Structure 1
Amino acid sequence: MLAGLLTGWGNNHFAANLDYLEEVAKQAAKTPGPILECGSGLTTILLGLLAGRRGVEIWSLEHIPEWYTRVNTVLERYQISGVNLYLSPLQDFGGFCWYNPPFTSLPNNFRLVICDGPPSNQTPGGRYGLLPVLGQHLCDDALILLDDANREEEAEVLRRWTTESKVSVLLQEFSFGSFALVTYPSRVNEVEVNQ
Structure 2
Amino acid sequence: MKQEEEKSIDEILDELRLIKTELRMRSLQEKESVCEQPPAIIDMTEIGKVINDAEKNNFSQLESLINIQNVLNIRFPLPKMRNWAISPDFAELLLREILIRKPENIVEFGSGVSTLITGYALQMNKQGKLTSFDHDVFYGKKTVQNLKLHGLEEFAEVISAPISDITINNRDAKWYSVDETKVPAKIDMLVVDGPPARTDKAARYPALPYLIDRLADDAIVIMDDGIRQEEREICRRWLEEYPEFESEYVETEKGAFILRRQTSHHA
Q: Shorter-normalised TM-score: what interval? A: 0.7 to 0.9
Contact 2:189 2:219 in 1 (8 A): yes
TM (normalized to structure 1)? 0.86
Going from structure 1 to structure 2, the CA distance change for 1:52 and 1:103 (only over 3 Å counts) comes to farther
Q: Give runs of aligned pairs for residues 96-115 of structure 1, distance below 5 A.
A: 96-115=173-192
Corresponding residue of 1:83? 156
Unaligned runs of 5+ in 2: 1-62, 70-76
CA 17–11 in structure 1, closer or farther in 2 if over 3 Å, else same: closer
Of 57, 67, 70, the residue aligned with 2:139 is 67
Matched residue, 1:38: 109
- Matched residue type, 1:156: E
Q: Mapping of 1:3-152 within 5 angstroms? A: 3=65, 8-10=78-80, 12-30=82-100, 31-52=102-123, 54-80=126-152, 81-94=154-167, 95-152=172-229
Asked if 1 retains the 8 angstrom alpha-carbon contact of 2:225 and 2:256, the reply is: yes
Gaps of 5+ in 1: 190-195
Q: Distance in 1 between matches of 2:161 and 2:88?
A: 26
Greater RCO, CA 8 A, separation 6+ = 1
> What letter matches 2:157 in structure 1?
N
Q: Mark the CA change 1:185 to 1:126 in structure 2 (over 3 Å): closer, same or farther.
A: farther
Match of 2:251 in 1: 173
What does the per-residue CA deviation read over 1:62-116, in whole Å, with 9 as the maximum and x for residues that have no partner? 0001100100001122221211210011121132111121212221211111111
Match of 1:192 in 2: none
Larger Rg: 2
Give the drift of 1:185.
Answer: 5.0
User: How many residues in Structure 1 have an aligned counterpart in Structure 2?
Assistant: 187
Which one has a larger percent helix, Structure 1 or Structure 2?
Answer: 2
Evaluate the alpha carbon distance shift between residue 76 and residue 8 of structure 1 in structure 2; reply closer, same or farther with a 3 A threshold: closer
Cα contact 2:220–2:261 (8 A) shared by 1: yes
Asked if the contact 2:161/2:176 (under 8 Å) is kept, the reply is: yes
TM-fit CA distance, 1:125: 2.4
Relative to total residues, which structure has the larger strand share, 1 or 2? 1
- Call closer, same or farther: CA 1:18–1:161 in 2, change over 3 Å: same
TM-score by length of 2: 0.64
Pick closer, same or farther for the CA change 1:179–1:63 going to 2, 3 Å: same
Aligned-partner Cα distance in 1 for 2:211–2:199: 21
Counterpart amino acid of residue 66 in structure 1 = F
SS at match of 2:232: helix
User: Aligned partners of 2:256, 2:230: CA distance in 1, in Å?
Assistant: 13
Q: Hey, what's the Cα distance between the residues in 2 that align with 1:75 and 1:139?
A: 27
C-alpha contact (below 8 Å) 1:97/1:124 kept by paired residues: no
What are the residue-to-residue correspondences of 1:157-168 with 2, within 5 Å? Answer: 157-166=234-243, 167-168=245-246
CA distance in 1, matches of 2:217, 2:198: 30
2:225–2:254 contact (8 Å) kept in structure 1: yes
Determine if contact 2:192/2:204 at 8 Å carries over to the other structure.
Answer: yes
Provide the identity percentage: 24
Taking only aligned residues, the RMSD between alpha carbons, in angstroms, comes to: 2.3
